[in-house]
Amino acid sequence: MVTSSSVVAHDQDKGVEDPAKVSQETHHHDDQQKQLDAGALFVLKSKGSWMHCAYHLTTSIVAPELLSLPYAFAFLGWTAGIFCLVIGASVTFYSYNLMSLVLEHYAQLGRRHFRFRDLSHDILGPRWCQYFVGPIQFLVCYGAVVASTLLGGQCMKAVYLLSNPNGSMKLYEFVIIFGCLMLVLAQIPSFHSLRHINLVSMLLGLAYSICATTACIYIGNSSKGPQKDYSLKGSTDGCIFGIFNANAIIATIYGNGIIPEIQATLAAPVKGKMFKGLSVCYAVVTTTFFSVAISGYWAFGNKAEGLILSNFLNDGKPFVPKWLIFITNIFTIFQLSAVGVVYLQPTNEVLETTFADPTNKELSARNVIPRLISRSLSVIVATTIAAMLPFFGDINSVIGAFGFIPLDFVLPVVFFNLTFKPSKRSPIFWLNITIAVVFSLLGVVGAVAAVRQISLDAKTFKLFANV
């Protein structure tokens, strides 16, 4: 594992922080705070501890999209599915740690970066920031808000049909209801203000994962469950595109895209805090991801649907007690609201930078009114898109291929090599080059597979479809 002591040994002794450097970083941070724009000052305020960072990280990664892991396994099979899951966990933990070390390095130099695009501007230059990293991050984060809103509506509809099987309400109506919940939560002023919500979110993620795993084991052992078939179905071309599509889904599920923004919420000095937060986060990640993926695929095989909760019903009749489906969906709905708000933060930061005045107080009328209007419009647009395009699995794949793979698998290792310039003879240099090349190729192929899947589904689904 790469640690800050192995990378910047010239800055400090192993495991021992230099008090002078801590004081210097804090001083630099205080000076920088006085010069911040409204987005960094109000949305990305640096007051959190490493535990708060762990809550933010876990909510951004352990989201209900993990319930589509059995669906990804249906394209990959047992061996490739587990292999991809392990590789995804290993590479993202490694790359997020590298990103954190790069951010710590610049903070110690007195140039603490609060945003992904600021870091890319410093390392890659203004053109990469303006035309690649900035737009890609916006696509990822806002796309995650749309996907969360859509999935929230689907879960609400599932709860409704459990209590009223002949109900006439449509999916888009539930999406709008969930959007109203998001509309309220979006007004929470800063990322740091979400720390308690994200603690609850982390517990909810564990809760619905346990419920889903329990339900899968129950159904898998039941004589009423579906016949298990673990073969890869479809033509050769279909199987190949399915494999790339599944990889894009897994990349999305492990994706984050906001590591610099989360690290920005830490109070100075930041050294070592992110690694602790990542360690807590990935303890939850491995517990939830592997339990749901393995139990879901074991129970349903290649019949696993885009959202494993859909497999718990057969022609409207539940395979498990209704209360278990009900409570799993309720936990999922509430956690989705937290996930959506977390991924709104980069958008909120841009809106705050554009419309707020840093010389006025955060809760002054001058700043509250533009905040209320701009954030409300942002949520309304996301809700409208979610209601119009009910292709949850496809949205997942597209976001993963176009956004999460570059941001979370490629750029962190590139940033590390450009910042620390490890020897070309060192294993770290070649490991990073290998990760960048392999995942760049996977991103391109995954993008093609995702677009192909959308073109196929577009023949079936209509705008505002009640699926």
Residue 389 lies in a domain: yes
Residue 13 lies in a domain: no
- Cis peptide bond prior to 346, omega within 30° of 0: no
Q: Which pLDDT band, with edges at 50, 70 and 90, does 27 fall under?
A: low
CA–CA distances in Å: residue 268 to residues 102, 211, 359, 372: 15, 39, 22, 30
CATH of the domain at 445: 1.10.4160.10
Give alpha helix (H) positions in 109-168: 116-123, 126-128, 134-163
Q: Which residues span the domain enclosing 143?
A: 50-457
pLDDT value, residue 439? 92
Q: Which pLDDT band, with edges at 50, 70 and 90, does 90 fall under?
A: very high
- The structural domain count of the chain equals 1
pLDDT in tens, 298-318: 999 999 988 899 899 887 788
Local structure of residue 461 (DSSP, 8 states): -
Q: Answer whether residue 4 shows pLDDT above 50.
A: no
pLDDT in tens, 182-223: 999 999 999 999 999 999 999 999 999 999 999 999 999 987
- The angle at the Cα of 81, spanning 396 to 414, to the nearest 5 degrees, equals 65
CB atoms within 10 A of CB 275: 20
Q: Which pLDDT band, with edges at 50, 70 and 90, does 168 fall under?
A: confident
* Mean model confidence pLDDT for the chain: 87
pLDDT in tens, 364-373: 999 999 999 9
Quote the CA–CA distance of 25 and 273 in Å, as a whole number. Answer: 14
pLDDT value, residue 7? 47
Residue 12 lies in a domain: no
pLDDT value, residue 451? 79
Residue 240 lies in a domain: yes
Residue 126 lies in a domain: yes
Residue 2 lies in a domain: no
Q: Answer whether residue 37 shows pLDDT above 90.
A: no
- The angle at the Cα of 351, spanning 197 to 257, to the nearest 5 degrees, equals 60
Q: Residue 261 carries which side chain, given as an amino acid letter?
A: E
**The tokens 């203000």 sit on which residue?**
193
Which has more pLDDT, 317 or 9? Answer: 317
pLDDT in tens, 404-442: 899 999 999 999 999 999 999 999 999 999 999 999 998
Query: How is residue 84 written in tokens?
Result: 């991809």
Contacts of residue 348, Cβ cutoff 8 Å, sequence gap at least 6: 39, 43, 186, 375, 378
Residue 23 lies in a domain: no
Residue 65 lies in a domain: yes
Q: Which pLDDT band, with edges at 50, 70 and 90, does 40 fall under?
A: confident
Chain center to CA of 9? 32
